[in-house]
Amino acid sequence: MKKVGFFQSVRLKLTLVYILLLLLGIQVIGSYFVGKLEDQLEANFEESIEGRMRSLTYSLQNTFETERGESDPSLQSDVQSLINDFDENDIHKLQVVNSSSRIIATDGGDFTYSDVGKKTNDAKVLRALIYGNTDPEIMQHPVSGDRLWVGAIPVTASNGDEIYAAVYFEADMSNIYNQLQEINSIFAQGTLLAITVTALLGILMARTITKPLSEMRRQAQIMATGDFSQKVTVHGNDEIGQLGVTFNDLNDKLKLSQATTEGERRKLSSVLSNMSDGVIATDRLGAITLMNAPASKLIGQSFEEVQGQSLIDILDLTDQMNEISEIETVGSMIIDLSSDDQQLLIKANFSVVEDENEEMNGFITVLSDVTEQERVAEERREFVSNVSHELRTPLTTMRSYLEALTDGAWEDKEIAPQFLGVAQNETDRMIRLVNDLLQLSKMDRKDTGLFKEKVEFVGHFHHVIDRFDMHRHENITFKRELSEQELFVWIDKDKITQVLDNIISNAVKYSPEGGTITFRAESKKKQLLVSISDQGLGMPSNTVDKIFDRFYRVDKARSREMGGTGLGLAISREIIEAHHGQIWAHSKEGKGTTIFFTLPLINQKRRKRK
């Protein structure tokens, strides 16, 4: 965050507020004080001038009323002498005008003795002579600009019946305003000093306010980085101190909130990462905002590749819906994302995410791989269909022959035994089928216990082959390529014998005349590897892995003619896998088929210790 400069800081603003308040106070006080002082000085000055002028008029009154002989000085001389003796620094202009408006004496300023005897037309003098009163007023000198107190005072008789003359005066008021100017200068200096002191004190006072605020600002910057370990120092119990306490409480609550949020985020991240199902989150417009690893694996694209793209486009739902809002009504659906190499069926469950106002804010899509489930369901349907078909065929045959016997064929001694023989064969076939189904059902429920024992496999394999060799067709050759060393395995002897019987029986059934069946058993990477090969018709490469499925037949018509149930290899796979082995086949059309299976060998060292 950018550092706040001094000229932009609260400290400067508070200091300016202090200074402005001080200036406002000084201005109000100064204006009031100076105004009152000026009025008082002017009043004192006017009172002083009026007092001195009253004294002068009293002297002039006595002069006018004095009786004079022929040898005494004239009235004009006495008045002029009295004016000359009137020495006042403030009053620098005087004129005495008699009742006839003629100047009889003058002194000071631009008045000269040549004016004596002249008639004056001054309005103030005339009002004083006529009305006996006039109000002095402040006037400005036209040349110097000084303010003057100008007026005219009448000289009346003792009895007040006669006005002898009028005295015109001009008093200089510059001393008053010089004093006011000096006082204003003192105020200005005091104001400057007060502003300086106030600025220093304001900065210090503002610092006591801004320092805690700066600490809170610095702590807020630290909190923004996720560090809640530090706290603000509380300097007092005032409002700022209480703000600091509140700030520290906020810090603690944010720390707890962040820890809670982080814990929940980690839990959510762990849940999403460890879920076997894929999760995709979108905004309200359907743009992808979150996706976990299983979802990325299912759709074959990383989160970076699909972020911001439409969910409808990514899941290829354009045929099922046009707008993302239709997801609310869909609920769930099966999406086929199969390719040429792999089948992939995904079940998508859609749910709506609402905000605190219960308004739609986005969607959550949970993806589950249901390929295996669908395959199992399809196999189950095929299994039921195959069982029904396998049972219907012998039952139909038996019904036909029994109906023929019922209709009278039982009386025919040649045909009746044949019909009964067919019915018996079909019954045996159904019994074998039911027994195989029961065995598979037990294996599916893990209900068949294996009675394992230590068996030397090569000798046991020879014994099984010998049993088939005793009844083999003369035009089929058995070729044994078995290991000369003893190979010990831990097996259920009867179950493995059943596996060998199933495989050898199929090899005998599908071997052509003059064909050879080859038997091999050898040790390979701590495993017993057994193979049984025939030279029959073989099968297409795309059907080899299916021969271990239940009821699967490459040539269905021929298999039924040979009495097979279609469950032999399926049972063999279950038995081998129960022994922790593997079974598979190799085949080429016209070149025969080889069935392989492996079994774990008993450790050689353990066998020697025993």
- Cα separation, 238 vs 473, in Å, equals 113
Residue-level pLDDT at 251: 85
φ and ψ at residue 269, rounded to 5 degrees:
-65, -40
The per-residue pLDDT for range 177-229, each reduced to its tens digit, is 888 888 888 888 888 888 888 778 777 777 777 777 777 878 888 888 878 77
CB 431 within 8 A of CB 439: no
State CA 26 to chain mean position distance.
55
Q: What angle do CA 64, 67, 72 make, to 5 degrees?
A: 100
Cβ-based neighbour number of residue 103 at 10 Å: 22
Parallel, antiparallel, or unpaired: how do β-strands 516-524 and 477-482 relate?
A: parallel
Position 536 scores a pLDDT of 85
- What span, in angstroms and rounded, lies between the C-alpha atoms of 529 and 532? 10
Closest CA to 463 of 432, 508, 504, 511: 504
Report the C-alpha gap between 347 and 370 in whole angstroms.
6
pLDDT top residue among 48 and 327: 48
What is the band of 111 on the pLDDT scale with cuts at 50, 70, 90? low
What distances in angstroms separate CA 332 from CA 95, 280, 285, 335, one per listed residue?
122, 14, 19, 10
User: Side-chain half-sphere of 44: how many Cα atoms within 13 Å?
Assistant: 8
Q: What are phi and psi of 73, to 5 degrees?
A: -65, 155
Residue 598 one-letter amino acid: T
| pLDDT reading at 552 higher than 70 | no
Check residues 79 and 133 and name the one with the higher pLDDT. Answer: 79
Interval 396-408 mean pLDDT:
78
Q: Per-residue pLDDT for 21 more than 90?
A: no
pLDDT for position 7: 53
Higher pLDDT, 380 or 586: 586
CA distance 583 to 569: 9
Determine how many CB atoms are found less than 10 A away from the CB of residue 144.
10
The per-residue pLDDT for range 136-188, each reduced to its tens digit, is 888 887 777 778 888 888 888 887 778 888 888 888 888 888 888 888 888 88
Cα–Cα distance measured from residue 191 to residue 27, given in angstroms and rounded to the nearest whole number:
9
pLDDT value of residue 112: 63
Residue 92 and residue 148 in contact, taking contact as beta carbons nearer than 8 Å: no
Both tokens of 604, joined, read 């050689």
**CB–CB of 343/376 below 8 Å?**
no
Point out the least confidently predicted range of 329-338, 379-388, 445-454: 379-388
Mean pLDDT of 327-339: 77
Would you say residue 557 has pLDDT above 70? Answer: no
Q: What is the pLDDT of residue 113?
A: 66
Q: Is the pLDDT confidence value at 565 over 70?
A: no
The pLDDT tens digits of the residues spanning 251-264 come to: 888 888 888 888 87
Angle at which helices 493-510 and 457-470 pack, to 10 degrees? 40
Q: Sorting pLDDT into bands at 50, 70 and 90, what band is 519?
A: very high
Beta strand pairing status for 91-98 and 288-291?
unpaired
Q: What is the pLDDT of residue 109?
A: 56
Q: 44-70 pLDDT, tens per residue?
A: 888 888 888 888 888 888 888 887 655
Q: What percent of the chain has pLDDT over 90?
A: 10
> Does the pLDDT value for residue 327 go beyond 70?
yes
Which of 75, 115, 78, 77 minimizes the C-alpha distance to 95?
A: 115
pTM over 0.95: no
Residue scoring higher pLDDT (342 or 119): 119
Task: Give one DSSP letter per residue of 380-401, joined into a string.
Answer: HHHHHHHHHHHHHHHHHHHHHH
Q: Mean pLDDT, to the nearest integer, of 13-42?
A: 80
Q: Tell me what the mean pLDDT of segment 556-582 comes to.
A: 71
**What pLDDT sits at residue 594?**
92
d(CA 360, CA 327): 12
Average pLDDT rounded to a whole number, residues 407-423 = 76
pLDDT > 70 fraction of the chain, expressed in percent and rounded: 87
CA distance 415 to 121: 182
- CB hemisphere CA count around 536 (13 angstroms): 22
In the predicted model, is pLDDT for residue 532 greater than 90? yes
Long-range contacts of 43-46 (CB under 8 A, 24+ apart): 45/90, 45/149, 45/171, 45/173, 45/176, 46/136, 46/149
Q: Report residue 600's pLDDT band, with 50, 70 and 90 as the boundaries.
A: very high
Question: Quick one: tokens of 147?
Answer: 């303010």
pLDDT in tens, 336-385: 877 777 778 888 888 888 877 777 788 888 888 887 777 777 767 766 66
The DSSP bridge partners found for residue 147 are: 140
598 pLDDT above the threshold of 90: yes
Residue count of the chain:
610
The closest of 130, 120, 57 to 91, measured between CA atoms, is 57
pLDDT over 80 at 118, yes or no: yes
Tell me, rounded to whole angstroms, the distance of Cα 141 from its chain centroid.
82
Q: How far is CA 526 from CA 347, 460, 574, in A?
A: 42, 19, 21
pLDDT of residue 610: 47
Burial 444-470 (b: 16+ CB within 10 A, else e): eeeebeeeeeebebbebbeebbeebee
Strand order in the sheet with 477-482: 477-482, 516-524, 527-533, 592-600, 583-588
**Average confidence score pLDDT of the chain:** 79
CA distance 316 to 336: 9
Burial class (CB in 10 A: 0-12, 13-18, 19+), 185: exposed
pLDDT over 50 at 558, yes or no: no
Asked if residue 531 has pLDDT above 90, the reply is yes
CA separation, residue 442 to residues 9, 568, 579 (Å): 86, 15, 16
Q: Which of 230-234, 267-271, 597-601 has the lowest average pLDDT?
A: 267-271
> CA-CA distance, 145 to 254, in Å (whole number)?
75
Contacts of 541 (CB under 8 A, 6+ apart): 587, 588
